[in-house]
Amino acid sequence: MTFRIRQIEITADGRRIARDTDIAQAELSVGRAAESDIYLPDLAVELRQARIAELSGKRITVEATGTLGFTIDGAVTLAATINCGSGAELRFGNSRISVSLAADEAVLLTIERFDNASGESDEKRSFSLAGVMPSRRWTSWIAALLILGLFLVLPITSHLTREPDPKAQVIGDGSWSPGKLSLAHHALESRCEACHVRPFESVRDAACLSCHKDLHDHAPPQRLAGARADPPLGERFLRAVARQFGKPGPGACVECHREHASAGRMELPRQQFCAGCHGSLRDRLADTKLGNAGDFGMLHPQFTPQVVTDPGNRAMRRISLDDHPRENGGLFFPHKLHLESLGGVAKMGSTLRGERSYGNQLACKDCHHPTEDGVRFLPVRMERDCEACHSLVYDRVGPTFRTLKHGNIPQMIADLSLAQPSRVVVPIRPRPGRYAAGGAYYSDFTAPGGGSVLNRAFSRQGVCGECHTPVFAGGQTSVMPVTQPMRYMMNGWFSHKPHAQQKCSSCHHAEASTSASDLLLPKIAECRTCHLGESSRAPVPSGCAMCHSFHPAASAPRSAKPDRN
């Protein structure tokens, strides 16, 4: 086999010169040694680096004879077999030897020196993603500057340079809002600076009071300070930190009214908020009239309703239900008699069924009418609620009757004075039970001791005296003023409306009451069948705010108020 060695050289002016040398040997040596068949004067090449030998057919072998290998098609190896038909490229140091087959079947070894200046670092870079991705450093800078510009510099600049006009809005501070404002403050959603008045200053009460002008203090500040229980060590520390950061102390509006919590109603204060002071109030405020209250189910004083104690001057006093208060509203009225399922009243009621909405017996609703809002009940009115049975007819003229006017005593005296005793309707029956002919029912103007018509009317059995207590004042006969309180709990809120599915008798035991002085209010124990503390498993877990308002007001607490938009 013939090896044809083609040496490519480049002249000074850049021309390529190929010189062919044919060597008819079975084996060639490659190295830096001068006697090598393929002489490579390159310090990176060993003196005797490799041997090229012919193999059968068109194949040759290349073997390393020193310690260094050689490169074939880019890969370093110590021995290789090459099919000259398909060729290969060997590399020794800075020389490339490409193996191929010449037209005359000689093995052509083309030797060419090359400049080894190709940057390896460039190749490494080509393998890494750096070639196809934007620079991490620039991406970082751009992202950071964009975020700082949009979310910090823009809003702060806009805030500091805005016009004093209250309608001027701060640009970009919407991105600072951590959550929606409550329903009541929804209109302020894009007006952060309405509450956050000064930079780096926490929201102050003054900002709240600028709109909420008619709010009352819970108690004088000194009293509040005295009432507050000493917080535990951890919380004291946190308050000290909060003070350092300029947060307003306990008692500030924002301590209780947390904003940015959600878009619904602002959360009601938790029981713990009240119990913090009221749970052990008496320990700190010796002169307080309030009992300790920390949980409706566990720690809450008995109700102390405001009861009429002296009807004459309508004097009222708060008395605990535990002290069995008696009410004196100035009326005689036995609930039991009126609610009995049998007897005269029931009979009377059923007789009147045609013209009134009475049933087989009287029910609460026949006399007690709720207020329009359903919260309470209106006072009972004689004309509407009693007169169907308790007729004030006193005279009959032909086919018609004359009736006394309720509530006007001088008029009544005048009317009765002019009535002809012979004509005064005096049925001869005690009441209730028996009826005059035709079913009509008349008052009894008789008195056990006889006397004038007027005296008979005021007597205990008389038309006035059966309900009212006669008094003699200012030279005139009159009756005790009647007081029907619509509200007993002056500091707690109770609405009948949410209790509409209950029967009246489940709380008010009227069917057993024989006297109007029975105060038919349920005690706390009865409420506790459904209502227990906020975190209880009762049917209705009830926090303080369900009945009480922090800011003293006669109206309903916020829990009972409808949503404001």
Shortest distance in whole angstroms from residue 552 CB to other proteins: 22
CB of 28 to other proteins, least distance (A): 20
Q: How far is the CB of 247 from other proteins (least distance, A)?
A: 8
As a whole number of angstroms, the distance between CA 516 and CA 333 comes to 5
Up-side HSE of residue 208: CA atoms within 13 Å toward CB?
16
CA nearest to 375, candidates 231, 557, 184: 557
Structure tokens, 423: 């004509």
Q: How far is the CB of 159 from other proteins (least distance, A)?
A: 8
- With a CB cutoff of 8 Å and minimum separation 6, the contacts of 301 are 290, 291, 292, 293, 320, 524
For other proteins, the closer CB: 126 or 506: 126
Near other proteins by CB under 8 A: residue from 55, 68, 156, 413: 156
Q: Which of 147, 209, 512, 540 binds other proteins (CB under 8 A)?
A: 147
Query: What minimum distance in Å lies between the beta carbon of 252 and other proteins?
Result: 13
Write down the H helix ranges in 177-270: 205-209, 221-227, 233-244, 253-256
Give the number of residues in contact with other proteins, rule: CB under 8 A. 71
Restricting to residues 187-206, which ones interact with other proteins according to CB under 8 A? 192, 196, 199-203
CB nearer other proteins, residue 134 or residue 399: 134
Say how far apart CA 375 and CA 364 lie, in whole Å. Answer: 16
Cβ proximity to other proteins: between 143 and 436 the closer is: 143
Restricting to residues 523-562, name those near other proteins by CB under 8 A. Answer: none
Q: How far is the CB of 89 from other proteins (least distance, A)?
A: 4
CB atoms near residue 208 (< 10 Å): 15
Q: Nearer Cβ to other proteins, position 67 or 128?
A: 128
Report whether 336 contacts 328 (CB < 8 A).
no
Round to whole Å and give the CA distance between 532 and 538. 6
Those residues whose C-beta lies under 8 Å from the C-beta of residue 264, and which sit 6 or more positions away, are: 182, 183
Q: Identify the residue among 41, 57, 179, 430 touching other proteins (CB under 8 A).
A: 179
Name the β-bridge partners of 473: 476
Q: For other proteins, give the closer residue by CB, 160 or 342.
A: 160
Per DSSP bridges, beta strands 3-10 and 95-101 are unpaired
Residues in 247-286 at the binding interface with other proteins, rule: CB under 8 A: 247, 258, 260-262, 267-270, 272-273
Give the range of 155-163, 363-371, 537-545, 552-560 binding other proteins by CB under 8 A.
155-163
| Nearer Cβ to other proteins (248/370) | 248
Residue 123 sits in the site that holds other proteins (CB under 8 A) = yes
Which part of the chain contacts other proteins (CB under 8 A), choosing from 138-146, 350-358, 455-463, 523-531?
138-146
Contact with other proteins (CB under 8 A) among 14, 43, 56, 127: 127
Check residue 126 for interaction with other proteins (CB under 8 A): yes
Binding positions for other proteins, 211-250, rule CB under 8 A: 235, 238, 242, 245-247
Residue 171 in contact with other proteins, rule: CB under 8 A? no
48-107 residues near other proteins, rule: CB under 8 A: 71, 73-76, 85-89, 91, 96, 98, 100
Question: Of the ranges 36-44, 172-180, 439-447, 496-504, which one interacts with other proteins (CB under 8 A)?
Answer: 172-180
Name 271's Cβ contacts closer than 8 Å, sequence gap at least 6.
294, 295, 533, 534, 535, 543, 544, 545
Closest among 178, 183, 210 to 194, alpha carbons compared = 210
Task: Give one DSSP letter per residue of 478-499, joined into a string.
Answer: EEPPP---S-S-SSS---SGGG
Of the candidates 52, 22, 48, which has an alpha carbon nearest to the alpha carbon of residue 34? 48
Which is closer to other proteins, CB of 182 or CB of 361?
182
Which residues, in sequence order, are CB contacts of 103 under 8 Å at separation 6+? none
Q: Among 17, 43, 132, 397, which residue interacts with other proteins (rule: CB under 8 A)?
A: 132
